[in-house]
Amino acid sequence: MSAKGTVLKRVRQSRKANERNKNYKSAMKTVIKKVLNETDKNNASKLADKAFSTIDKVASKGVIHKNKAANQKSRVSKHLKNI
C-alpha cells in the first residue's frame, strides 16, 4: 500500500471510530440525564444501575477516561442520595 493509500485508510478508520465514540458518549449522556431528571427514588435507582453499567462500558472501551467515568458515577450517586 502506498503512503497516500495509508493516509486515506487512517482517515477512514478515524472517522469510523469517531462516529462509534460519538454514539457511546451520546448514550452515556442520555442515561445520566434520565437519572438526574428522575425524582422518584425507586425509578432513579433502577436507572442509576443502567447508568453505571453504561458509564463503565464506555470507560472500558477507552472512549472516556476512567477518572471522568468516576466523576459521572459520583454525580449520579450524589443525586440518588439527595432524593
Judged by phi (left if over 0) then psi (alpha if -120 to 50, else beta), residue 62 lies in left
Reply yes or no on whether the pLDDT at 1 is more than 90.
no
Q: Sign (positive/negative) of CA torsion 34, 39, 44, 48?
A: positive
Residue 23 lies in domain: 3-82
Q: For 30-80, how does the pLDDT look when each residue is reduced to its tens digit (9 = 90+)?
A: 999 999 999 999 999 999 999 999 999 999 999 999 999 999 999 999 999
Reply yes or no on whether the pLDDT at 3 is more than 90.
no
Q: What is the CATH number of the domain that holds 72?
A: 1.20.58.110
Work out how many domains the chain is built from and give that number. 1
